[in-house]
Amino acid sequence: MAEKFPRDINESIGQFQLVEADETPVSDVRTGTLRLENKTADLEVSPEMTPSIQWEQREDGSWVGHSSESEQADFTVIGTLSHSPSEVSLWRTNTTSRRTLGLAIPGQDSPGNQKMRSDWCITGAHLADPTLPFSTVYFDIANLHEWSGYSYTSEHITVKNKNGLPHTWTLDFPESEALPLKNGEGTLEFSARANAAPRSARGFRVSTNTFVKIDLEDGLSLDDLVAQYGRPLALLMTILAGKESSIRAIELRGPDNRSLAAYGKIVDREAPTSPGQLFLTRRDVSVDLVTTWLSTAVALSPVPEILASLWSGAFPFIETRSLTLATTAEALHRLLHPDARRFTTQEIDESISGLADSTMPETVKSSLHDALSSYWMEKSYPQRIEELAEPVAKAVPTCIGKLNRWKRAVSNLRVQLAHGFSDQEPEPQKILEAEALSRSLLWMLTFRLLLHSGVTATELRNAAENSERYQLDMRRWNKQWPKIFSSENT
């Protein structure tokens, strides 16, 4: 069986050329080697594709060489490989290094090589325009197979031949319904897959998987497809699993309905298929959470991105995690309640008018005037936290405990983190308390997003009761903050 790039081999020799978006050649064809290792597409050509020396002929017929005024950025390279699929397109390519051997001669290629790195490597076609719209895209995202809840598993199955005779094996894929996207621009569908290894004397191996398929009436560029669909779905899986859930593969339907594959820094081919333990799956909720989430992720950005980073362990220090969570809570409340005020406009105007007759010092009067005119009408941080947590306290009471006490503890933690911990208590104990309370806050924000996305209070409470991850964290904050979470304290 012929080796395929980059499935079986991550390096291939080929012929490459720099082109404009309209396919106009910008450089001569160069021989080079393309390497694709996990997220990185590196191209090395010789001689240079974009010469670093420009030659100018003087009036006396002599030549003078000088460095190019500027290095072209984000150019497109198309290539023809010696392996299948032979056609490849490299988008947003930039030079990383050069090596020159000897002196260049006017009118001849400069001896040496040029190394480049591309943001995107598209296999299966020569596509010169990175903004080319695609109407169909498939995403393979970690944990999505488990989320879909299909009856078959992703375990490998071996089917043996009997008595040397051909053996027929049939896989019945579950039916999938195309779900309308909330923006009305297309549909989302779960696409079942099966891969079979070459048959041997002992049989063959079959593995199953589930992709998410996006069909759009009006296509989008690859960057927009990732930003609007791929990345938000990866964020959802990360938040639900408590572990980084990467985009593992991207497939596109290109011109003439050709099947293309996209590789780049957003695609982690070596990522695990099922990291973490999903808090809930498609079977646990009545709402089409995946399609609803796409709207939530856009409307409440950057909160989903921050929570996914926290769940995946991007912040190693408890102080950083806690302060980030405290700030994110305020951001989420502002996004959900952009017009929240504790004083009316009339009350503020009357207060500002009353300052004119006040006998207080002018400096104090000026400061109060500025405060009343800007931030004083807004709700305080404790008020925002309480309003944000109320729906969660009703749905999953064990996450919040006594709301008033929990609110004060979170507000105090925010102040302590902003000004540094005091020395009134041993540092290790403060760290344990901050960690436990921060986990409660992380779960609260997660639950708040799920409620906003249509998960019911009953569904959320049932999932929390059945989640080992949540129960473990709950035991920790119950131990560190008994006055807030213990039912024995009033």
C-alpha–C-alpha distance, residues 26 and 144, integer Å? 42
The pLDDT, as a whole number, for residue 172 is 65
| Average pLDDT of span 101-116 | 71
Q: Output phi, psi for 295, to 5 deg.
A: -75, -40
Nearest in space to 202 (alpha carbons), one of 169, 162, 155: 162
Map out the domains of the chain as residue ranges. Answer: 1-51+73-98+114-130, 134-299, 312-340+379-485
Which tens digits make up the pLDDT trace of 147-169?
998 655 444 455 555 555 455 55
The pLDDT, as a whole number, for residue 131 is 96
- In Å, how far are 32, 41, 282, 302, 350 from 249, measured between CA atoms? 25, 15, 21, 24, 60
- Length of the chain in terms of residues written: 490
Query: Domain 1-51+73-98+114-130 maps to which CATH number in 2.40.10, 3.30.70, 2.30.29, 2.60.120?
Result: 2.40.10
Nearest in space to 190 (alpha carbons), one of 151, 225, 242: 151
Would the pLDDT of 450 be above 70?
yes
Q: What is the pTM of this model?
A: 0.86
Would the pLDDT of 390 be above 70?
yes
Residue pair 183/292 in contact by the 8 Å Cβ criterion:
no
Would the pLDDT of 89 be above 90?
yes
Where does the pLDDT of residue 110 fall: very low under 50, low under 70, confident under 90, or very high at 90 and above?
low
* Alpha-carbon torsion angle 63, 69, 72, 78, nearest 10: 0
Would the pLDDT of 279 be above 80?
yes
Most confident listed range (158-167, 210-219, 311-320, 340-349): 210-219
Phi/psi region, residue 157 (left: phi>0; alpha: psi -120 to 50; beta: rest), is beta
- Decide which of 202 and 337 is more confident: 337
Pairing state between β 247-253 and 204-220:
unpaired
The pLDDT, as a whole number, for residue 310 is 96
Query: Considering the chain, what is the average pLDDT of its residues?
Result: 85
The pLDDT, as a whole number, for residue 155 is 46
The pLDDT, as a whole number, for residue 216 is 96
Where does the pLDDT of residue 240 fall: very low under 50, low under 70, confident under 90, or very high at 90 and above?
very high
C-alpha–C-alpha distance, residues 77 and 120, integer Å? 11
Which tens digits make up the pLDDT trace of 434-446?
999 999 999 999 9
Residue 317: burial class (beta carbons within 10 Å; 0-12, 13-18, 19+): exposed
Measured distance between the N- and C-terminal CA atoms of the chain, rounded to whole angstroms: 72
Would the pLDDT of 389 be above 90?
yes
Where does the pLDDT of residue 289 fall: very low under 50, low under 70, confident under 90, or very high at 90 and above?
very high
Number of H helices, E strands in the chain: 15, 15
Nearest in space to 171 (alpha carbons), one of 205, 131, 219, 126: 205
Q: What is the 3-state secondary structure (H, E, C) of 299-362?
A: HCCCHHHHHHHHHCCCCCCHHHHHHHHHHHHHHHHHHHCCCCCCCCHHHHHHHHHHHCCCCCCH
Which tens digits make up the pLDDT trace of 395-424?
999 999 999 999 999 999 998 876 665 555
Where does the pLDDT of residue 193 fall: very low under 50, low under 70, confident under 90, or very high at 90 and above?
confident
Where does the pLDDT of residue 477 fall: very low under 50, low under 70, confident under 90, or very high at 90 and above?
very high
The pLDDT, as a whole number, for residue 51 is 72
| Average pLDDT of span 293-312 | 96
- Decide which of 372 and 451 is more confident: 451
Where does the pLDDT of residue 490 fall: very low under 50, low under 70, confident under 90, or very high at 90 and above?
very low
Would the pLDDT of 113 be above 50?
yes
Nearest in space to 250 (alpha carbons), one of 236, 272, 269, 237: 269
Q: What percent of the chain stands above pLDDT 70? A: 76
Angle at which helices 427-452 and 381-395 pack, to 10 degrees? 70
Where does the pLDDT of residue 34 fall: very low under 50, low under 70, confident under 90, or very high at 90 and above?
very high
Nearest in space to 30 (alpha carbons), one of 42, 40, 18, 12: 18
C-alpha–C-alpha distance, residues 402 and 483, integer Å? 8
Residue pair 446/308 in contact by the 8 Å Cβ criterion:
no
Query: What would you report as the CA-atom Rg of the chain, rounded to the nearest whole angstrom?
Result: 29
Cis-peptide, bond into residue 6, ω within 30° of zero: yes
The pLDDT, as a whole number, for residue 154 is 40
C-alpha–C-alpha distance, residues 132 and 142, integer Å? 27
